[in-house]
Amino acid sequence: MDLLILSRIQFAFTVAFHYIYPPLTIGLGVILVMMEALYLATKNSLYQQMAKFWTRIFALTFAIGVATGIVMEFEFGTNWATYSRYVGDIFGSALAAEGIFAFFLESGFLAILLFGWDKVGPRMHFFSTLMVALGAHFSAVWIVVANSWQQTPAGFHIVGEGVNARAEVTDFWMMVFNPSSMDRLAHTLMGAWQAGAFLVLSVSAYYLLKRKYVDFAKTSMKIGLIVAVIASVLQLVTGHSSAVGVSKNQPAKLAAMEGHFTTGPGALHLFGAVNEKKQKVDGGIQLPGMLSYFIYADATKPVMGLDQFPKNDRPPLNFTYQMFHGMVLIGLVLIGLSLLGVLFWWRGMLFTNSWLLHIFVWSVLGPQFANQLGWFAAEVGRQPWIVYGLLRTSDALSKTVTTNMVLASLIMFSIIYFLLFAVFVFLLDQKIKHGPAEEEHEFSRHYA
């Protein structure tokens, strides 16, 4: 295998694994804030018990998020040194800002959230939880800004030529508010809220099916459902405006997402497979004009097709198409599920309907898959560029790193992350089975 493919696989693997965790901490962060606010307002100890239980789950995801996140911070330099030199001014600034504004806030107050129940009052504890959630959101802000600059670069100029060319900031705020950053930030954050909310729904549904911790589960479920329905419905809005942005700023990506070959009124496909030879989408259901309608509110307006791009400027078509469609499909199912939950709640059947509870138990996987597929669509759809229109991914590699080195690190990552994931799932399962009661340390005897 060649260096480029291996390096891309390694980055994709490490970032996809990392991205299991931060959405959970962002989403659970919001839910913890709600639980502690309710505890402050009502002094009902059930809310405190809930906050403590979900904090234990939060801590587990947070630790792995930190450990796998440091890898990301270093990987730009190890594998993509040419890219790092090219974008240091911009991408580096966003990462540094993330460290200063987000990580310190988050990790500092996390100490109080986890270990501070007996050290500070409930108000200060609530404030700390709020700061942790805010820090998690800030971190999403800066990392999405950095990534959006790769998608839609703005506020910079290119200095130097050939190997010495680099992007330098001309306008910091234009760089931050580049054309895609705010749409994508909203879409990413709602995806994270969904991840947290559906985890809460899933665990609560599991308890209700087992008829354990019933009060705890009912109250958790209501809070989870409120966040789930808000985030899922808002995903329609943020997803739509992201897609409209892509049509304007990255037409090749949009054309790949929909398998749209010929410039002209665009059709929407519910599913299918892109056939590059015949230049069409095979199978599935086609809605003529709907793509144009969604973008321009006019079914006859032309949408730029892949015919406008030479072959070597096109992203992988079928892959991008499938990732995007998978995400949309799951997104729609999640909207339906959360609305169904609200309907049943209104009808007073939410906690008793066994088939709905069974679906909720598995629903936790929905946002996880949708988040992953969405990022794959966004990142693979940007290819062959690492910075859209400016720097090709194939030109961005480290010059000193060889295929064998990447193979070695990739094998190590595969082993270590597989183990980590197994332990994570095991411990998560144990914590869920243990339930909301406080954990005791019974084990205490001499080793040696």
Partner 1 sequence: MHIDLNMIWFGLVGILFTGYAILDGFDLGVGALHLLTKTDDERRIMLNSIGPVWDGNEVWLVTGGGALFAAFPSVYATVFSGFYLAIFLLLFALIFRAVAIEFRSKQPMKWWRTMWDISFSVGSIFSSFLIGVVLGNVAWGIPLTADHEYAGNFLSLLHPYALLIGLTTVALFMMHGAIYAVMKTEGALHDKISSWVNNAIIFFIICYATATMATLLYVPHMTVYFKQHPVLFTLAFVNMLAIANIPREIQKGRDFFAFLSSCAAVITLMAIFGIGVFPNMVVSNPNPEYSLTIYNSASSAKTLKIMLNIALMGIPLVLAYTVSIYWIFRGKVKLDKMSY
Which CA distances in Å does 139 have to 25, 84, 98, 278, 379?
11, 20, 5, 44, 19
**Is residue 118 a contact residue for partner 1 (CB under 8 A)?**
yes
Distance CA 384, CA 381 (A): 8
Nearer to partner 1, 277 or 445 (CB): 445
**Which tokens go with 214?**
């019933």
User: Which one among 25, 48, 78, 393 touches partner 1, defined by CB under 8 A?
Assistant: 78
Query: DSSP 3-state assignment of 314?
Result: coil
**Is residue 100 a contact residue for partner 1 (CB under 8 A)?**
yes
**Is residue 236 a contact residue for partner 1 (CB under 8 A)?**
no
Place of tokens 């759809």: 381
**Which tokens go with 10?**
């390694």
**Is residue 117 a contact residue for partner 1 (CB under 8 A)?**
yes
DSSP state of 259: T
Can you spell out the DSSP letters for 54-84? Answer: HHHHHHHHHHHHHHHHHHHHHHHHHH-HHHH
**Is residue 107 a contact residue for partner 1 (CB under 8 A)?**
yes
What is the closest distance, in whole angstroms, from the C-beta atom of residue 405 to partner 1 in the complex? 5
User: Which one among 25, 48, 79, 368 touches partner 1, defined by CB under 8 A?
Assistant: 79
**Is residue 435 a contact residue for partner 1 (CB under 8 A)?**
no
Query: Strand pairing of 166-169 and 156-159?
Result: antiparallel
**Is residue 101 a contact residue for partner 1 (CB under 8 A)?**
yes
Distance CA 205, CA 211 (A): 9
**Is residue 405 a contact residue for partner 1 (CB under 8 A)?**
yes
**Is residue 76 a contact residue for partner 1 (CB under 8 A)?**
yes
Site mask for partner 1 (CB under 8 A), range 348-387, x = bound? ----------------------------------------
What is the closest distance, in whole angstroms, from the C-beta atom of residue 42 to partner 1 in the complex? 22
Helices (H), 43-168: 45-79, 81-87, 93-97, 104-115, 122-151
**Is residue 422 a contact residue for partner 1 (CB under 8 A)?**
no
What is the closest distance, in whole angstroms, from the C-beta atom of residue 73 to partner 1 in the complex? 5
Nearer to partner 1, 145 or 227 (CB): 145
Looking at beta carbons, which pairs linking 106-112 to residues 24 or more positions away fall under 8 Å?
106/131, 106/132, 106/135, 106/136, 106/138, 106/139, 107/66, 107/135, 109/135, 110/62
User: Which one among 105, 233, 244, 432 touches partner 1, defined by CB under 8 A?
Assistant: 105
Beta-carbon contacts of 418 under 8 Å, excluding residues fewer than 6 positions away, are: none
Stretch near partner 1 under the rule CB under 8 A, chosen from 94-102, 187-195, 266-274, 319-327? 94-102
Site mask for partner 1 (CB under 8 A), range 36-65, x = bound? ----------------x------xx-xxx-
What is the closest distance, in whole angstroms, from the C-beta atom of residue 401 to partner 1 in the complex? 5
What is the closest distance, in whole angstroms, from the C-beta atom of residue 217 to partner 1 in the complex? 22
Distance CA 174, CA 382 (A): 21
Q: Is 213 left (phi over 0), alpha (psi -120 to 50) or beta?
A: left
User: Which one among 110, 133, 203, 231 touches partner 1, defined by CB under 8 A?
Assistant: 110
Nearer to partner 1, 154 or 252 (CB): 154
Stretch near partner 1 under the rule CB under 8 A, chosen from 37-45, 199-207, 242-250, 439-447? 439-447
Site for partner 1 in 258-287 (CB under 8 A): none
Residue 273 is inside which H or E element, if any? Answer: strand 273-275
Inter-residue contact 225 to 342 (CB < 8 Å): yes
User: Which one among 43, 104, 214, 302 touches partner 1, defined by CB under 8 A?
Assistant: 104
Query: Strand pairing of 391-392 and 280-282?
Result: unpaired
Site for partner 1 in 145-174 (CB under 8 A): 159, 163, 166, 168-170, 172
Stretch near partner 1 under the rule CB under 8 A, chosen from 292-300, 362-370, 372-380, 394-402? 394-402
